[in-house]
Structure 1
Amino acid sequence: MEIRDKVCVVTGGASGIGAGMARRFAQEGAAGVVVADVNLQRAEEVARGIGEGAMAVACDVSREADIQQLVQRTRERFGRVDIYFSNAGILGRLGGIELEDALWEKMWQVHGMAHVWAARALMPEMVARGEGYFLVTASAAGLLNIVETAPYGVTKHAAVAIAEWLRIAYGRKGVRVSCLCPQSVQTDMTRDGTGSAGINGVLTAEQVAEVVVQTMRDERFLALPHPEVAKYFQAKGQDYDRWLGGMQKLYAQHMEPPAKG
């Protein structure tokens, strides 16, 4: 799909990948760009930087009502939603099953149900038009997992699965679906050095945007700004037990205290 003359919505659009994609959509000639974020002030700054044809909307994607309002306000301003980039995400904290249920629930909402709620609001109109694009930001962690934070890795797997299901269910009805799975990108979430930052080259949001736009033009499912992720994913599928052994070593290096001796 070409972006020119399309109406684009970006959640998590106030910074990082979201802001980079909002700007890139405008550069590609989008008819309208909606910058949605829980931080309205920063979303407004991004929208002002884009100029005419952009607007900011306050949206907490962990609330279905906010997503419904986002879609409705976009329809009121631009008449429709052509491209929806379900991008908002949170890193949470380092740890595993000992982390509190409230954190797990928040991650499920933001990385799982937010995509479901957005699809619920948009798929009927996209199918009726026979055209639309639904983009989901997951992570390399959604394909490969991550040793530092169980809630992040688990819920990003859910994001990939939701995008897969949407592609399966609606791909022959005119709706394109893609899933973005980067490793480390210069965002607010990676600024403190947590997560997978530093494992491979840290990309800029603009570099990620270039890959996303090309993925949309080719209508491929996976957008992989770090191409080595495809190799790791293939290795995982070819010998799952060997891959798990390697991840166990990585966990021991990063998460277990050194042995005293």
Structure 2
Amino acid sequence: MRVRDKVVVVTGAASGIGRAMVRRFAAEGAAGVVVADIDAAGATAVAREIGDRAVAVRADVSVEEDVRGLVTTAESAFGPVGLFCSNAGVTTGRGLDATSPDWTRTIAVNVLAHVYAARAVVPGMVERGEGYLLNTCSAAGLVSCPGDAPYAVTKSAAISFAEWVSIHYATRGVRVSVLCPQSVRTAMFERGVAADHLSARAAGASGSVLDPEAVADVVVEGLAAERFHIFPHPEVAGFVRRKAEDPDRWLTGMAYFVDSLRA
């Protein structure tokens, strides 16, 4: 999948990975980009960088009408959506102390937003015989996330949903990839570091911290190869293999890893 001449929607695009993807997609020659974020001012600033090929939209991806509105805006401004990047996400930094509202909000943003995006674009993609979904799911969806139970659970669910969509629609022209980085130098990560969340300590200790631009580079390459798993941190593939080969040993190792972080 080449981004050139495609109409793209990116959520969570006012900063971090989303902003870096918008910039990279524009450089790749995207026909138009919808820059979506709950931060309207931030989205507008990113869209202004791109110029006439970008439109900023304030959207709360936990609201299905807002997600559908992104598709309507894209179609009105540029044409049918060729690539929908469901990138927005939230963390809690909490375990069993996560409140019910914490869980509800995290499920809505980290899982249901992907469902809403698929509902909005997959029927049209099937009708045209082509289309692409890129869901930012994090390595946490594959190898858990020490210190943040809602994040770990919802990112795993997001990957499971992406697998389901791929299984049901790949033969009808719809391709799916999940972006699964570890630590990336974003505001979300820095907030976790500042609050000394166990999840941020774990992420920092388990691999390098990448700049969002490096992640965007890997995204473009992964889309071109049409890989389901896109790993900006290559070591994640090894973690996944070890988990699959011996789950008990992997769980024991993770338990000792968390204990070392607490110490």
TM-score using structure 2 length: 0.95
Contact 2:39 2:58 in 1 (8 A): yes
Contact 1:185 1:197 in 2 (8 A): no
Letter matched to residue 155 of structure 2: K
Contact 2:33 2:74 in 1 (8 A): no
Corresponding position of 2:66: 66
Bigger fraction of residues in helix: 2
User: 1: distance between equivalents of 2:230 and 2:108?
Assistant: 23
Q: What whole-Å deviation, never above 9, does each CA across 1:112-137 have from its counterpart, x for those lacking one?
A: 00000110011000000001010000
Q: Number of aligned pairs?
A: 255
User: 2: distance between equivalents of 1:73 and 1:51?
Assistant: 16
Structure 1 segments of 4+ aligned residues over 6 angstroms from their partners:
none
Letter matched to residue 84 of structure 1: F
Letter matched to residue 17 of structure 1: I
Contact 2:86 2:134 in 1 (8 A): yes
Corresponding position of 1:129: 128
Cα-Cα RMSD:
1.0
User: 1: distance between equivalents of 2:25 and 2:204?
Assistant: 26
Contact 2:137 2:155 in 1 (8 A): yes
Match of 2:210 among 184, 196, 203: 203
User: 2: distance between equivalents of 1:95 and 1:25?
Assistant: 34
Q: Secondary structure at the match of 1:197?
A: helix
Equivalences for 1:63-212 in 2 at 5 Å? 63-92=63-92, 94-192=93-191, 193=193, 194=197, 195=200, 196-212=203-219
Contact 1:112 1:155 in 2 (8 A): yes
Deviation at 1:198, TM superposition (A): 4.4
User: 1: distance between equivalents of 2:182 and 2:97?
Assistant: 25
Contact 1:127 1:175 in 2 (8 A): yes
Corresponding position of 2:245: 238
Letter matched to residue 79 of structure 2: G
Corresponding position of 2:16: 16
User: 2: distance between equivalents of 1:191 and 1:146?
Assistant: 16
Q: Secondary structure at the match of 2:56?
A: strand
Q: What whole-Å deviation, never above 9, does each CA across 1:43-102 have from its counterpart, x for those lacking one?
A: 00001011221110000001111111111111111121110000000112x221221100
Letter matched to residue 46 of structure 2: V
Unaligned runs of 5+ in 2: none
TM-score using structure 1 length: 0.95
Moved more, 242-251 or 190-199: 190-199
Corresponding position of 2:54: 54
Letter matched to residue 69 of structure 1: G
Unaligned runs of 5+ in 1: none
Contact 1:147 1:250 in 2 (8 A): no
Deviation at 1:223, TM superposition (A): 0.4
Q: What whole-Å deviation, never above 9, does each CA across 1:196-233 have from its counterpart, x for those lacking one?
A: 23431111111101111111111110000000000000
User: 2: distance between equivalents of 1:144 and 1:138?
Assistant: 11
